[in-house]
Chains A and B, each alone.
Chain A
Amino acid sequence: MLNEKVVCAGFGGQGVMSMGKLLTYAGMIEDKQVSWLPSYGPEMRGGTANCAVMVSDTLIGSPIIEKDATTVIAMNLPSLIKFEEELVPGGKLFINSSLIERKAQRDDIEVYYVPANEIAVSLGTGKAANMVMLGAYLEVTKTVKSETVIEAFKKVFGPTKAHLVPLNENALLKGAEAVK
């Protein structure tokens, strides 16, 4: 039974909020129970950002993640340091190895190292690093289909960003390949 509790974390501008939003939206399209909760505390002004996403087959109670994350996607080092401990044993940790040199500290979790920025740059823009990570995450967990994420992308960003659809499709694909 699906009960994903995902922390997406990074610094402002890495698209962690959008990554979470697209996963949430895709879950909604696939008729799952979803919620998206951003951090909006004073820490946002310091530069780090994170959101908690739930995608579940059953009704979502608390939208907060507290030591019960099934997945953490860490786009930068402060996020890795802060959220690794939030994972349940057996949880999945996705580390953006382009920006994070450190390895995971725990040995009771599954760890995936994805050079998200390098892959994104090879596709033409480092800005797509978030979608590379999302692609890797979806390949491992199969929470939603990557086609549904693209459908969500079209709905969230509308016709003005339609020209970015192929780039984002590619980023999801390359991210998936990185963890195959």
Chain B
Amino acid sequence: MAKVLMKGNEAVGAAAIKAGCKYFFGYPITPQNEVPEYMSKELPKIGGSFVQAESEVAAINMVYGAAGAGVRVMTSSSSPGIALKQEGISYIAGAELPCVIVNMMRGGPGLGSIQSSQSDYFQATRGGGNGDYRTLVYAPANVQELVDYTMKAFDMADYYRNPVLVLGDGMIGQMMEPIEFKETEKMDLPEKDWATTGTKGARKPNIVNSLRLQAPELEALNQKIEAKYMEMEEKEVIYESYKLEDAEIVFVAYGTVSRITKNAIDLLEQEGIKAGLIRPITLWPFPNKAFAEIPATAKALMSVEMSQGGQMIDDVKIANEGRLPIGFYGRSGGMVPAPQAIVEAAKELLGGVK
């Protein structure tokens, strides 16, 4: 298929529809407004429904309802809006329902700014909702990946019966890049025999609920859900390793920042310093196994994030298992790290460990 030039936010919508999403519930917030705009225009054409809810809380609960009826459904928002959806996400995970949630991150805390940020890493990977639940988190670095992983997210959500999060930022949502809608292999997915579609008098009613008042019953559910998370950790980890061979310093960066870090790696190379990159594509499950590829030449790791002080760095510490010193460079509030600033931070870190 020919390439088309699309804005990230519109590409998410197009990818969702291509993946069979017919229902979208949302509430406007910059910098992701083109997602609901696109869905409001396109879903009626294919017999789907778009509802602009009265709030983010209402939108996620509409998603809960639609997911319970067994249809492919999505919502999108940006940081503070996603914060409001956390309760619903926990309920959806507890009721074992599939859905896709897109977060185009902006600066925080609070209402923050409308510019790009990566300060929702904790929210995405730890979750702001209650209980023992996880969401699979994809962090695309360009608009093509945004398309590919949005489509994959629907399959994964159905396969695991769990919410899947696509984590972008204002920049990837707003920028245009060429994309291609590739024909992907259809995943073999089980029938949704749990969906509340009406018994027609022919079967026992299905019940969608996250309330389990009997302790042994809830523990059994948690064990079942935990088994799914263990399967995800085993099977769903995706990452890219870039120029790791002979690297003196290994950066860890995801999404938009990973692109900028690649520029920094080129600049360091020109100065004779070998640097590599581990780019987590799934933030949860985190690619711990990527850290086994780090060569003996490496003297230090550096987490680079659009966050003040860093959030992913906690996972880098876990994956590193105390082996190498870990540095950090980040900007926040909508400020974006410049390649040269990453270079300087890397040199300072290397100078300190030599």
Q: Do A and B bind?
A: yes
Chain A residues within 8 Å of B30, by CB: 40
Contact of B178 among A21, A28, A38, A64 (CB under 8 A): A28
Contact at B115–A34, with CB atoms within 8 Å? no
Bound CA span A37–B175, Å: 4
Q: Are B3 and A63 in contact (CB under 8 A)?
A: no
How long is the Cα–Cα vector from A60 to B338 in the complex, in angstroms?
14
What's the nearest-Cβ distance from chain A to residue B266, in Å?
A: 7
Please, how many angstroms separate the alpha-carbon atoms of A65 and B170 in the complex? 16
Q: Which residues of A contact B263 (CB under 8 A)?
A: 61-62
Is there contact, CB below 8 Å, between B175 and A63? yes
A25 within 8 A of B: yes
Instruction: Given A21-B5, A28-B5, A36-B5, verify A41-B115 contact (CB < 8 Å).
Output: yes
Q: Are the CB atoms of A36 and B266 closer together than 8 Å?
A: no
Q: Quick one: which of B262-295 are within 8 Å of A by CB?
A: 262-263, 266
Interface of B is mostly: mixed
**0/1 per residue, B225-262, Cβ < 8 Å to A?**
00000000000000000000000000000000001101
* Complex Cα–Cα for A42 and B170 (A): 13
B245 to chain A, nearest CB (A): 19
Q: State A28–B176 Cα separation when bound (angstroms).
A: 11
Is B336 positioned at the interface, with any CB of A under 8 Å from its CB? yes
Q: How far is the CA of A63 from the CA of B175 in the complex (A)?
A: 8
Q: Given B114, B260, B334, which contacts A61 in the complex, CB threshold below 8 Å? A: B260
Residues of chain B touching chain A, judged by Cβ–Cβ distance below 8 Å, are 3, 5, 30-31, 114-115, 170-171, 174-178, 259-260, 262-263, 266, 334, 336, 338-339
> What are some 23 contacts across the A-B interface (CB < 8 A)?
A24-B176, A28-B178, A34-B5, A34-B177, A36-B175, A36-B176, A38-B174, A40-B30, A40-B31, A40-B114, A40-B170, A40-B174, A41-B114, A41-B115, A42-B114, A61-B260, A61-B339, A62-B260, A63-B171, A63-B175, A64-B260, A64-B336, A64-B338
